[in-house]
Structure 1
Amino acid sequence: MSALAGRRIWVTRPCQQATTLADLLQTTGAVAVQLPLLEIAPPLDAAPLEAALARLASFDLAVFVSPSALDAVFTRLASPWPARLPAAVVGPGSAARARELGITRVIAPAERYDSEGLLAELDATLPLHARQVLLLRGDGGREVLPQGLVARGATLTTIAAYRRLPPAFDEARLVAELDAGCDGVVISSSEAAQHLFSMVGATTRERLQSLQYFAPHPRIAAALHQQGVGKVVLTAAGDTGIVDTVCRHYARIQ
C-alpha cells in the first residue's frame, strides 16, 4: 500500500495549475485538497499584451516566468506560435506546458529551476547581445530576470500578462480544512506562503505553523521558516518530483 494512502495533502497552487499535481497525488491514494493560495486574473490593461502579441514575430526570444504566463498569452494568441521563435522558461512544469501549447523550441535550465538558473542556461545556449527579448510575467515579482537580461545586452520588452491576487476563501474555510485533517501542504511560491499566514488569527496561525510543508525551492522554504514553520521538506522539481518526495517522506516515517 502507498505511504500516502488516505493522507490529506493540500495543493495550494492557483486553480489553473493544480489539477495535474492533485491527480498525481490521488493516484498514490492520497486525498488531494485543492486550496489555492493565489488567484490568477487578467491584467487590468490588456493593451500592452495585445500589442506585443501582434508583433510577436519581431522578437528573437520570449521568456515566460511561469505556467500562468504561458496560459495568459495563449488565451489571447490569435495565430499559431511562430516556429522560429524560441521560448525560455524557468522550470520543467513550464517547459512541459510550453510544448503542450505548441512551442517547439523551448529553453529551460537543466538543474537550477529559477531566474538565476535560466540566465545561466541562456549564457550557454543563446547569446543575448542586441537581441529583442519579450519577457512575459505577472504584475510585480523579482527583478533578477529582467535585470539579468538587460545586463547581457538584450533589448527588453516587459509585459504584465496576468495579475496575482490573494486567495478567494477566508479563514473559516481554512479552519474547516484543518479540522478535516491535513497531513502535508505543498507550497509552490513564496507569495503563497505569505498569503497563507496573513489571512489568519493567532490560534489558526499556530495550527498552520505545526503542519508539515513541502516546497520545491529553497527560497520558498525560507519564506515558510520566516512564518514560524518548523517542518519543511525540500522537494525535487516538477509535479512528479514533488509527489515522489512526498511519498518518500511518509514512507520513511511509517
Structure 2
Amino acid sequence: MSVRPRVLITRPGARGRPLRRALEDLGVEVESLEVMRLEGLPEAQDTRRAWLDFDHYHSVVVVSPFAAECLAEALDRYWPQLPLGPGFYAVGAGTAQVLNERLGVRVRVPPASQENTSEALLALPSLQRLEHRRVLLVAGEGGRTAIAETLERRGARVDRVALYRRQLVAPTGMAARRLADGDFDVMVVTSGELLEHLAGWCSRAALNQPLIVSSQRLATLAQTLGYLHPRVAQGATPAALVAAVADVCNLDGADHDDLEKG
C-alpha cells in the first residue's frame, strides 16, 4: 500500500466531482478513468407528449441524477408552474437531491438502511398496488427494464422516456496503463455497464485489486466478470463510497454526513 492510496473512480462528468472532492478530503490520490460520457437526446415525439401530459401522471420515477437534470430542464420549458399531482420517486439519494434542488419537490427513496437499487425502490409500500395509475419512468437509453416491467405487473400504465445516452469510451493514456498493470489500490464502480466495459481492459493484476461497488447485485456481477475482491458499500452516495474506501485502505474516515449526495 502506498503512502497515499491511489483510488480510481469512474463516474462520468459532473457526477464524479462530489466523489472526487470527498476522497481527496480523505487524503487519497484520486484518478478518474473517464470511460463513459452522458449525452442528452433530441426530444422525440413520445417524449414531447409525456411533457404535455405531465399533469396526468400519478407517479414519476427517475433513475439517475443525469435523468433528473434532463427532466428538470424539460419541465422548465413546458411547465413554468409545476403541477401538484405527480408524486416523485428516485432510486438513490443523489437523484432525489437533484429533483429537490431543481424542482423543489418531495421525493420518495428507498430507506437509508437499504441499498440504492431498483429492487429497494420497488419495495416501497406506495408502489405495490397501482391499478389505474399512470407512471412516467424517466431514464437513459437502454438499461435495465425491471422497474417498468414490475410496475406494469402491479397494474400501472407505464410510459418510459429516454432522455440521454451513455457512450462508453476506451481507456487511453494513464487510465489504460493503470488497468493494464494494476497500479492502483482500489477502484470504485457503481454501474453494471461500466463493470462490464472495464473488465475487458483489466489485466489479471487489476482484477485482483480491491473493487468497491454500491450494491450486492453489482458485487455478484463483478464476480462473474472476474473481479476477485468486490466490496459492497452502504449505497452509492459519496459518504458511503468514501467510508468503504477508508475501510479498504485502513484510513480514518471523517464525518461525511455533510457531503453532497451523488
Report the TM range for the smaller structure's normalisation.
Answer: 0.7 to 0.9
Deviations 1:78-106 (A, max 9, x none): 23543442211112222222212234221
Shift of 1:125: 6.5
CA distance in 1, matches of 2:70, 2:10: 19
TM-score normalised by structure 2 residue count: 0.84
Secondary structure of residue in 2 paired with 1:251: coil
User: 1:85 matched to which residue of 2?
Assistant: 86
User: 2:149 matched to which residue of 1?
Assistant: 147
User: 1:245 matched to which residue of 2?
Assistant: 244
User: 1:118 matched to which residue of 2?
Assistant: 121
User: 2:160 matched to which residue of 1?
Assistant: 158
Are the equivalent residues in 2 in contact too, given 1:4–1:29 (CA < 8 A)? Answer: no
Q: What one-letter code is carried by the residue in structure 1 that aligns with 2:163?
A: A
The structure-2 alpha-carbon separation of the partners of 1:58 and 1:124, relative to structure 1 and needing over 3 Å to count, comes to: closer
Q: What one-letter code is carried by the residue in structure 2 that aligns with 1:120?
A: A
Are the equivalent residues in 1 in contact too, given 2:5–2:249 (CA < 8 A)? Answer: no
Are the equivalent residues in 1 in contact too, given 2:35–2:171 (CA < 8 A)? Answer: no
Secondary structure of residue in 2 paired with 1:9: strand
User: 2:258 matched to which residue of 1?
Assistant: none
Shift of 1:124: 4.0
1:105 partnered with 2:106: yes
User: 1:230 matched to which residue of 2?
Assistant: 228
CA distance in 2, matches of 1:124, 1:45: 30
Shift of 1:26: 0.8
Secondary structure of residue in 1 paired with 2:15: helix
CA distance in 1, matches of 2:157, 2:6: 47
Q: What one-letter code is carried by the residue in structure 2 that aligns with 1:23?
A: R
Shift of 1:209: 1.1
Secondary structure of residue in 2 paired with 1:101: helix
CA distance in 2, matches of 1:36, 1:75: 25
What do you get for the CA RMSD once the two structures are aligned? Answer: 2.5
Match of residue 192, structure 2, among 190, 193, 197: 190
User: 2:71 matched to which residue of 1?
Assistant: 73
Paired positions, count:
245
CA distance in 1, matches of 2:182, 2:110: 39
Shift of 1:252: 7.4
The within-5 A match list for 1:40-55 is: 40-43=38-41, 46-55=44-53
CA distance in 1, matches of 2:83, 2:213: 35
Deviations 1:127-157 (A, max 9, x none): 4221111001111222211011111111111
Secondary structure of residue in 2 paired with 1:88: strand
CA distance in 2, matches of 1:80, 1:112: 33
Secondary structure of residue in 2 paired with 1:57: helix
Are the equivalent residues in 1 in contact too, given 2:128–2:154 (CA < 8 A)? Answer: no
Q: What one-letter code is carried by the residue in structure 2 that aligns with 1:197?
A: A
CA distance in 2, matches of 1:252, 1:180: 21
CA distance in 2, matches of 1:32, 1:51: 43
Instruction: Flag structure 1 segments of 5+ consecutive residues without an equivalent.
Output: none
Q: What one-letter code is carried by the residue in structure 1 that aligns with 2:248?
A: H
Shift of 1:173: 4.0
1:137 partnered with 2:135: no
1:11 partnered with 2:9: yes
CA distance in 1, matches of 2:193, 2:91: 17
CA distance in 1, matches of 2:126, 2:136: 19
Q: What one-letter code is carried by the residue in structure 1 that aligns with 2:208?
A: S
User: Matched residues, percent identical?
Assistant: 24
Q: What one-letter code is carried by the residue in structure 2 that aligns with 1:152?
A: R
Q: What one-letter code is carried by the residue in structure 1 that aligns with 2:48?
A: E
